[in-house]
Amino acid sequence: MRITAALALGLIQYAEATDALIAQLEDGPDWRRVHASARALGLLYAERAIESLERIAARHWYPPVKEAASQAVRVIRGEEEYPAGRTNSVFFAHEHAGASLTATSRPFLDLGPDELPAVFLAQRTYSAEVFDMGEYPSRVKKRNQRPQCGLRVSDGYLLGASRGEWGGELVHQRDDATETHILYTHVVGIHRLGPHIIVATGLAHLGGNTGRLYRVFAQGETFDVEPWRQLPGAPQGSGWLADGRLYISCFGGAVLVSPEGDFEMADSGMLPAK
C-alpha cells in the first residue's frame, strides 16, 4: 500500500507529501518503496529532494533504484520528461524493474549449517492443504507434500515447498511427527544466516513478480515469522558460495546477503558457473 500511495501522491501532485517521500528514500528493508518514492519526487519536481536522490543514485545496492533516483533528478532539473503511458503501468513498474538483471546461470552452491540434503528431503513428507483442480467445483484437500528445502532445528525440522501458482508453505515438523504450519506462501530456501533463520519466498507468475525474506523466531513450542527484507524478485534458488556468502538468484537479479540483512548485487562474471 505504501508503494501505491507514494506513486499516487506524485501523480496527483500532492506537494505536501514531499518530506514524507524524502524520508521514505531511507527505507532499507524494502527497495520497492525507495523506487516508488524516487519516481513520486520526480513527478512533484521536488527540488529539495535532489540531494537525497543523488545520494541514493550513488550508493543504493540495486541498479533499478539508482536509475530511478537519477531519472528523478533529471526530471526535476528539466533535462528529461517521464514517458507518457498508462497510469496503471506506473503502479506495477517495480515488479519488472530488474528484468534485464535476471541471472541466466547459477554458481555452484553448497548446503549451509543444518540444511537438509536432497536425499533426505526425498524420503520425507508433511501434510499440506492443496486445491484439487480435478473436481468441479474445486476444493481444498489434504495431501502428503514432499519438501523442497529444509533445516534441522532442535526438536525437529523446518520444511518448505512451492507449488507455483498453487501455493506453498513453511512447516515445523517435530521429532514426534506433530506439525505446525507457520507460513502459507511459496518457500524456496531455508537458511541460518548469522543469528537468524531466514526463509526465501516468492513467485513470478503471469504479470506478477515478488520475492521476500522472512525471519523465523521461536514462539512458544514452535516458530513464527516476520517480514525481513524484500528481494529483487521471486527467488529461483539459494545457497552458499565457497567463501561463505549466501547467494540468492531472483527474477530481478542475483544478490549476496550479509548476516545484517545488507544486499549487494552478485557479479555473475566472477562466479564459477554450476
- Judged against a pLDDT cut of 90, whether residue 62 lies above it is answered with yes
Q: Which residue has the higher pLDDT, 142 or 5?
A: 5
> Is residue 252 within 8 Å of 197, Cβ to Cβ?
no
Which residue in the block uniquely carries the three cell numbers 512451492? Answer: 162
- Judged against a pLDDT cut of 50, whether residue 99 lies above it is answered with yes
- Judged against a pLDDT cut of 50, whether residue 124 lies above it is answered with yes
**Threshold 0.75, pTM exceeds:** yes
pLDDT tens profile 197-256:
999 999 998 888 999 999 999 999 999 999 999 999 999 999 999 989 999 999 999 999
CA pair distance 253, 204, nearest whole angstrom: 13
**Confidence bin at 97 (pLDDT 50/70/90):** confident
Rg (C-alpha) for the chain, rounded Å, is 21
CA pair distance 217, 231, nearest whole angstrom: 20
pLDDT tens profile 153-191:
999 999 999 999 889 999 999 999 999 999 999 999 999
